[in-house]
Amino acid sequence: MTISADDLTIRSADASDQEAVEALLRNALGKDDDPNYPAFLEWKHRQNAFGVSPAWVAVHEARIVGYRTFMRWAFRTGEGKRVTAVRAVDTATDPDYQGLGIFRRLTLQGVADLTLAGDGIVFNTPNDKSRPGYLKMGWQVSRRVPIGVLPRTPQSLIRMATSRVAASIWSEETQVGLPAANALTDLATASALLAHAPSRAFRTDRTPEYLAWRTAFEPLNYRLLLADESDPRMGGLIFRLRRRGAALEAAVIEQLVPDVRTGVRLMARMLNLTKADYAIAVRTSPSTGLIPLPGNGPLLTTRPLAASPPPAKEWALTLGDLELF
């Protein structure tokens, strides 16, 4: 039987779809052998501090054959105004239903529904393969996110340069620093660190509740290295270790430090204690001494919903805003 796009029903996903959606994602994305995947989806889409992810499905004769979700997010402008947002994340099409435009139909339906609901903007960092599809649906390239690195030794620099492959999803074990999943459930600790978060430009709406959620998924093994273990008001780094080819990479998702000297000292201390080959982070400021890697950061793409994205120069993202999702 020949199936056409007209044979499909596009609708909002609901709780009864969860099992079928997870099976579709596992099959389409090759996650069948990942024991962390169901809990990861739960953390990302239903425990998110910004709210439950809205999602849409394509259905053919009661069979879910396509899925698209947008992860809820929120930003603050330089003037302090809150802007609701979503991030285009998980999507999958049943291999038997390729070529029917399911990705495009689900995405445009989501965009229409979110706009009517009053959500502000959508953003993501699609790869080279998927970016053209987004651009055809009204997304625009905003800017290349400025990435920086700091090698630990000359030998580490060589390993970094020869390990240009995708990083592992799950983290390596380390005892350096504090387990962030525990330390940041103390909202006083989180609040003290967030005093050093950017207060100008267009940035994620970082609250203590956000920081606690963002670091809570245990397989990611986020660590908190404080400048002063007895006083989080002195600042700290949040990081995790992951393998990238032969290199051990320290991905720093938050640089919550009061000044350049503290940031540089903490970054060097983290590298020396973990023996990571290098640190990588977004260069939102020079405070941690990162060396810029021009042309190597992901391309940020945006689309207006009920609001307009800010100019490219106003964005102040961190690796915590971009990785994983």
311 within some domain: no
Whole-number percent of the chain with pLDDT over 90: 88
Contacts of 311 (CB under 8 A, 6+ apart): none
pLDDT class of 286 with cuts at 50, 70, 90 = low
pLDDT (mean) for 289-305: 93
108 within some domain: yes
Please tell me the predicted confidence (pLDDT) of residue 287: 66
Mind listing the pLDDT tens digit for each residue in 206-247? 999 999 999 999 999 999 999 999 999 999 999 999 999 999
- Cβ pair 220, 197 in contact under 8 A: no
Same structural domain for residues 169 and 228?
Answer: yes
Residue 4 has pLDDT above 90, yes or no: no
Please tell me the predicted confidence (pLDDT) of residue 2: 80
Same structural domain for residues 168 and 71?
Answer: no
Please tell me the predicted confidence (pLDDT) of residue 301: 97
Please tell me the predicted confidence (pLDDT) of residue 3: 84
Same structural domain for residues 132 and 182?
Answer: no
pLDDT (mean) for 61-76: 96
Same structural domain for residues 195 and 266?
Answer: yes
Please tell me the predicted confidence (pLDDT) of residue 285: 64
Same structural domain for residues 61 and 125?
Answer: yes
Residue 322 has, within 13 A of its CA and on its CB side, a CA count of 27
pLDDT class of 122 with cuts at 50, 70, 90 = very high
Same structural domain for residues 284 and 176?
Answer: yes
CATH number at residue 118: 3.40.630.30
Same structural domain for residues 112 and 206?
Answer: no
Mind listing the pLDDT tens digit for each residue in 164-186? 898 999 999 999 999 999 999 99
Residue 291's DSSP bridge partners are 149
Residue 284 has pLDDT above 80, yes or no: no
Same structural domain for residues 106 and 215?
Answer: no
Mean pLDDT of the chain: 94
pLDDT class of 98 with cuts at 50, 70, 90 = very high
304 within some domain: no
CB burial string 141-167: b at 16+ within 10 A, e below: ebbebbbbbbbbeeebbebbeebeeee
314 within some domain: no
Same structural domain for residues 59 and 12?
Answer: yes
Same structural domain for residues 47 and 153?
Answer: no
Containing structural domain, residue 47: 5-144
How many structural domains compose the chain?
Answer: 2
Same structural domain for residues 292 and 155?
Answer: yes
302 within some domain: no
Helix intervals (H) in 64-186: 102-117, 131-136, 154-161, 180-183
Please tell me the predicted confidence (pLDDT) of residue 31: 87
235 within some domain: yes
